[in-house]
Chain A
């Protein structure tokens, strides 16, 4: 979408810049063949994608400074209104020790996962969100209008071609002598055979029709009857010259360019000039093929024009041209042709120099694309993509702080829809991560419970996934109002106990009677945990692992060291969470509320 607009607009700009240049060259050089090929290059430029982009700084005003990427901090600010997060909040209320620390405790141990969590969905910075949204709205409107126009053009073109072909079924091939004459003339122009010649009714111009299986020269029967044989030759020569020059290919280029750039004046301008140059070239071909035939050819030309100026009822009429039709343009155009014919010094084909010039123009014009769209919307997007990730990865140890800091800056601003979606994505990622960790924890819990009941605790420790034991010490922190939650009460009392006991080797059997409420969750589904298949347990059950469990099941010597580390992490995490919470309290009306 954006890419289409960018390429198309850059092509349009280049073509618009090239068109006056080509026009000037055409006026100066006065070689229809050269003019023709140059205009074809302009049209080609319109429809071919560029390969080389060079930046042209055109008023890059609202591009954000990279210093203020203002990323959204993923889940924290949005969960207020997001149902999914609301769920997780409920879960958090149930099991206060569990959820909040989860994402945090993972952080030091799983930097990669953490990075994915914070960084992956951050591309669009909410810089000037209002302007951003307005921009994107206008952009999509423009694009829609553009494509609608193009589709309309295409439908019209195809429909008309089909109808014309259908109508041509009622035309009939010219008599064999006419066809034979056409073949002879085609030989003179260097062709093996002429396209089929057909006589058609109606006041139409002689023309070359190349849609369908084979090219046809269409000659109005009535006009054919009026012309003498030399004039007929001239007319046939003109149409065959079109065929010889392969102008029907140019028609397709024209059609493609018009379909894509129906709004572009340079496109229409190029087409008109192209046509004129084309006719002049064909005139030159005709004169070359029948030397001294100026008068004949010119009279045939005027005869044809007179013929189509005559109404169907046979009365010569001032042709009722529609208001905007360029009757005058037609006249001056014809006059110019006649004058050129009269001078008779028009080169019919491209010289080597002309070809080189055309190739040079094509080589310069076709590949380039000024990235003018920088003043448009797409540019800020791409820029932000390149800016945001480094920001996120810059401080992997404290991504939460890094994220929350800029968020304050955006506080109160209107967030764009894109932002909102982005945040949602982040939230989903976070949720997934939480689920994953929850499962791990459940597993660990089940094992611990099993140990506690079977007494074989020593072997279980190694099976506990890393994140699980780290979470338990978290419980005591006050950020979830443990008083409100009966579940958290027992856990609250724990932190003091495990620390001194860190080195002690409890047997699980001893602990169970000491802290009966500690096992209330894990012990209840005894059959389940006994079998060691606690994976199916509900998330709410996972967090009730008593701290002492971690302490006494951990036999290895590095236990206390590990505990210290965990506590350290927890401390910093809690600080961060506090900070975030206070921010959230301050900025609850921030981005999402308004979007």
Chain B
């Protein structure tokens, strides 16, 4: 399974959606679903998109039959989530175009930092002032 944060275009995403919904599909089936009985050019488009997705490792091609069939090779939530995450990072606080109000910045924390924060919560109330002065 590919782990690189491959970027997916909108039309590729639509195609993936078909694969996620239907499972195994041939190019012709996808074309019919996406373009409602599209012609040869649409068929070629879908073919091209499938090739691209296959190159990105998001789609698996089954060559055992005369008509090649395709299946999604990536979990839907994973792909969408990755995409959302990438977009959200770009739309959050430190970015050029912030438009999201969010709970915390999407930047992660290291293990030590998380532990320090947990300690802070669990610490009794008194040392708060000390923590504060260190936090400044």
Contact = CB atoms under 8 A, between A and B. Distances in A.
Contacts of A298: 121
15 contacts: A156-B96, A160-B99, A167-B84, A200-B81, A202-B82, A205-B106, A206-B102, A207-B101, A209-B100, A242-B101, A298-B121, A305-B104, A305-B114, A334-B109, A343-B132
A278 B3 contact: no
B110 interface: yes
- By secondary structure, the B interface counts as helix
Interface in A105-161: 153, 156-157, 160-161
Contacts of A309: 108-110, 114
B94 A325 contact: yes
- Interface extent on B, as a size class? 35 or more
Contact of B118 (A168, A302, A339): A302
A207 to B, nearest CB: 4
B101 A302 contact: no
B36 interface: no
Interface stretch (A316-324, A355-363, A448-456, A537-545): A316-324
A262 B96 contact: yes
B97 interface: yes
B76 interface: yes
Contact of B85 (A202, A325, A330, A331): A202
Contacts of B105: 205, 330, 333
A235 B83 contact: no
Contacts of B120: 335, 338-339, 342
Given A321-B107, A326-B94, A331-B113, A204 B88 contact: yes
Contacts of A325: 94, 107
A203 B81 contact: yes
A436 interface: no
Interface string A241-276: 010000110011011001100100000000110010
Interface residues of A, number: 76
A327 interface: yes
A281 to B, nearest CB: 11
A202 B80 contact: yes
B109 A327 contact: yes
A208 to B, nearest CB: 4
Given A304-B104, A319-B107, A203 B85 contact: yes
B98 interface: yes
B116 interface: yes
A555 interface: no
A223 B82 CA distance: 15
Interface string B58-89: 00000000000000000011101111110110
Given A202-B77, A202-B80, A255-B98, A335 B3 contact: no
